Structure 1
Amino acid sequence: MKGNLKKALEQQREYYINKLLLIGVYDSLILDGMTTTELKDEYNYFYYDVPSRKWNAKRKEN
């Protein structure tokens, strides 16, 4: 059971690393130092395009 959990966490980590590399916001050196939770949070942040939504919201206010 312990081996399966470790394998699943490694697969999840690889998934988020590969996706963030494809998006192109980080390089592999930075990603290797991040936890799985940080990787997941960053992926969700950039995948759902939060930066441009915030920018567009500020733009509409002006």
Structure 2
Amino acid sequence: MSNLLKSALEKERRHYSEKLYQIGVYNKEVMNKMTISELRKEYAYFFRSITNHKNYPYTR
């Protein structure tokens, strides 16, 4: 794997892990075992929920 691709994947993993950790969803041990695809799905699930709730607080 090229260094550029490896670096991009590490950066992406770090981004999703930091965001999920900040909202207290998972601890770091659990996230280290997750794949990038799993981190993406969890990020999309939680951050879409938060975004929608902020934009439309009375629809839930």
* TM-score normalised over the length of structure 1: 0.76
What's 1:47 paired with? 47
1:1-62 aligned within 5 A = 2-49=2-49, 56=60
Matched residues, number: 52
CA RMSD of aligned residues (A): 1.8
Q: Spell out structure 1 runs of 4+ moving beyond 4 A.
A: none
* TM-score normalised over the length of structure 2: 0.78
In 2, the alpha carbon distance for the partners of 1:19 and 1:47 equals 9
Unaligned runs of 5+ in 1: 57-62
Counterpart amino acid of residue 49 in structure 1: S
Unaligned runs of 5+ in 2: 54-59
Q: Which has the larger radius of gyration?
A: 1
Q: Which has the higher helix share?
A: 1
Counterpart amino acid of residue 32 in structure 1: N
